[in-house]
Amino acid sequence: MPLAVRRARLATLVTSLTALVLVPAALAGNGGFLPGEPHSPNAHRVHDAYIFVSIFTGVIFIGVEGALIAFMIKYRRGKRARTEEGLQIHGATRLEIIWTVFPVLVLAAIGTFVFYKLPGIADAPKAAAADETRIGVQGAQFYWQFTYPNGAVSVGRMIAPADQVVNEDITAPDWDVIHSWWVPDFGGKYDAIPGKVNKTWFKAPAGTYVARCYELCGIQHAAMKASVKVVPRPQYDAFIAKRASAAGNLDLGREEWTGVCQSCHRLDHKYIGPALNGNPLLGDRKGIETLLRNGGVQMPPVGRDWSGKQIDALVAYTKRFAKVGG
């Protein structure tokens, strides 16, 4: 192959590989290197550990790959015969000590740093009872439901107090499958396992943070989106008080409709399940309760453990769709 053609081919290969590496990185933001910006102390610690480990892995990667390329060039065959023997070397005590001790030191440094950071990731900081709260997070096919200390419930959107410790009890109903509660800005993912409660916490400034299910949990796994809206404490208190009272029924019903029913149903056309507009069941308290608690042909029992108030709230909202064009 002529030299010019070989060079052109090599240049194309290098350019293509560089583009393959750089384009996704650029599209991913922050160079595609770091996870999203942390917004909770435990997420900050995960972030720190990520950077600390990356420094070592980055330096080692460049050192090893650099040496590999340098050696490939320096010791290439060139004009020597294929059959020519290479230099025979036996033992290199200093080198062997270096490549044993260096990894031990690197692993010890990483281990020490991570174990130093771990307790702050796993355990919530001590706070006065008034400055912390506990919110139940339940993943079910295909929605997220949040339960507050006064019994209030929300679906698809958690409301939480700002700058205070929020403990999360994460689980899934006994008859459901495993989901995974992930708010990237708050750090790691936590499995929502039927019959088991996983605990984590966050302490975040006011803002809205996206959440997702990170465990492939069925046909509408991708619909299991949620958000965490962090608001000043008085606003949070007002929200849960209203939601626990009859005044919050319609809001809860709307959330159940969009968060639960609409994961699989649309009003005017077949989606995963049948179209619902004009379905008399939407105004039939008893009928809808039977369906929610037992499930349908393909529908999971999405409301098996719902309170009567939750079912009332749904019907209060959906009865408007019970008549065609209603």
Q: Which residues in this chain contact Cu ion in the complex, by CB under 5 A?
A: 179, 213, 217, 224
Q: What's the angle, vertex CA 250, arms to CA 249 and CA 251, rounded to 5?
A: 95
Q: Are 135 and 230 in contact (CB under 8 A)?
A: no
Print the SS3 string covering 271-316: CCCCCCCCCHHHHCHHHHHHHHHHCCCCCCCCCCCCCHHHHHHHHH
Q: How far is the CB of 138 from Cu ion (least distance, A)?
A: 11
Q: Name which of 180 and 318 has its Cβ closer to Cu ion.
A: 180
Look-up of token digits 């060079």 = 7
Q: How far is the CB of 213 from Cu ion (least distance, A)?
A: 3
Can you spell out the DSSP letters for 73-139? HHT--TTS-TT---------HHHHHHHHHHHHHHHHHHHHHHHHHHHHHHSPPP--GGGEEEEEEEE
Q: How far is the CB of 224 from Cu ion (least distance, A)?
A: 4
Q: How far is the CB of 185 from Cu ion (least distance, A)?
A: 19
Q: Name which of 167 and 220 has its Cβ closer to Cu ion.
A: 220
Q: Name which of 136 and 287 has its Cβ closer to Cu ion.
A: 136
Q: Name which of 161 and 173 has its Cβ closer to Cu ion.
A: 173
Q: What is the DSSP letter of 158?
A: E
Q: Name which of 217 and 282 has its Cβ closer to Cu ion.
A: 217
Of 227, 149, 150, 218, whose CA–CA distance to 181 is shortest?
Answer: 227
Q: Name which of 142 and 317 has its Cβ closer to Cu ion.
A: 142
Q: How far is the CB of 162 from Cu ion (least distance, A)?
A: 27
Q: How far is the CB of 255 from Cu ion (least distance, A)?
A: 17
Q: Name which of 38 and 300 has its Cβ closer to Cu ion.
A: 300
Q: How far is the CB of 142 from Cu ion (least distance, A)?
A: 6
Measured between alpha carbons, how far is 115 from 134 in angstroms, rounded to an integer?
Answer: 26
Q: How far is the CB of 137 from Cu ion (least distance, A)?
A: 12
Measured between alpha carbons, how far is 69 from 55 in angstroms, rounded to an integer?
Answer: 21
For 222, residues 6+ apart whose C-beta sits below 8 A from its C-beta are none
Is the sign of the CA dihedral 157, 161, 162, 168 positive or negative? negative
For 310, residues 6+ apart whose C-beta sits below 8 A from its C-beta are 153, 252, 256, 303
Q: Name which of 45 and 221 has its Cβ closer to Cu ion.
A: 221
Token representation of residue 106 = 């690197």
Q: How far is the CB of 298 from Cu ion (least distance, A)?
A: 17
Measured between alpha carbons, how far is 153 from 308 in angstroms, rounded to an integer?
Answer: 12
Q: Name which of 211 and 288 has its Cβ closer to Cu ion.
A: 211
Pairing of strands 157-161, 225-231: parallel
